[in-house]
Amino acid sequence: MGVRSVTDNLGIERATDRGTEGLARFLGWVSLGLGVTALAGGPGVSRICGVDDSRTARTVLRAAGVRELGHAAALLVPRRAGLATWTRVAGDVADLAAAGQAWRNRRGDRRRRLTYTVAALAGITALDLYASVRATRNRRPGDAGHAYGAVTINRPAEEAYRFWHDFENLPRFMYHLQSVRSTGPRRTRWTAKAPARRAVEWEAEVVEDRTNQLIRWRSVDGSRVANCGTVRFTPAAGGRATEVRVELDVHLPGGRLGRLAAKAFGENPQQQICDDLRRFKQVIETGEITRSDGTPDGSSIQAQAKQRPARPLASRTA
């Protein structure tokens, strides 16, 4: 629950936490409003806040307005929202400290107005802190690559399930795999490409298998590449089509450096799953992978470097 699918222009979907994304976007609009108000309001904002007697305070307000506009720009871009919520918290703490200092130096009506200002800042800080903690909790661990995607294919669920369940078919559209061999009733041995032209192997087992509905697998204990995944097959278009949803978690060895290397060499899980689902749709619907001069084979640096502009057929002279 609380997960929204975002579809790209090729029909592949990625999951986002709808609540967290919505809250970050809301805070982005709040930052935009505060920034514009602080910069355009001038003396009126200073008077409302209770610091209209201080030129330094007005300068601080303008600086805070610029900062809020920066937060708005970051929060309204989903990929940056997680970090931006924490920078908002840092800004809130600075604002509370400045407002608290000003409150101690004011008396009478200005102190009363500053009391309201401090209360409002405390409420905003609490909301920003909640959003930051929520975004952090929803983020996957640093060494675990999480990938999610979905695609609708023009084949019934039975056919899609049967094709996928024959695990030796997987390398036909999962180009990071070299082979998948059955080693037992529910076990398989996987060989995958690794950066720098290497290969890595592991054993996997099917832990849940619902005919025509779901396959769930995981690597066995001691595998060099710890991973688990689920593929779901949901009938669509009255049973004539199927929505295939895949979710994968894989531990990438080497920490941050390993993740950067995997991304550069096209072994990043999210890169892989988007490419894999496109090819799966092509294979099961047409029996082959569609290629062209203008379409690179995958999203790795090597594949991108090999592509060249598509060219029309050379004209023939009579």
Q: What are phi and psi of 283, to 5 degrees?
A: -65, -45
What does the alpha-carbon distance between residue 49 and residue 57 come to, in Å, rounded to a whole number? Answer: 10
Q: What is the pLDDT of residue 143?
A: 41
Q: What is the pLDDT of residue 189?
A: 93
Q: What is the pLDDT of residue 310?
A: 56
Q: What is the pLDDT of residue 187?
A: 93
In this prediction, the residues of the chain whose per-residue pLDDT falls under 70 are 1-20, 53, 77-85, 135-145, 195-196, 252-268, 290-318
Q: What is the pLDDT of residue 11?
A: 43
CB neighbour burial string for 193-227, b if at least 16 within 10 angstroms, e if fewer? bbbeeeebebbbebeeeeeeeebbbbbeeebebbb
pLDDT digits (tens, 9 = 90+) for 209-254: 999 999 999 999 887 778 889 999 999 988 899 999 999 887 765 5
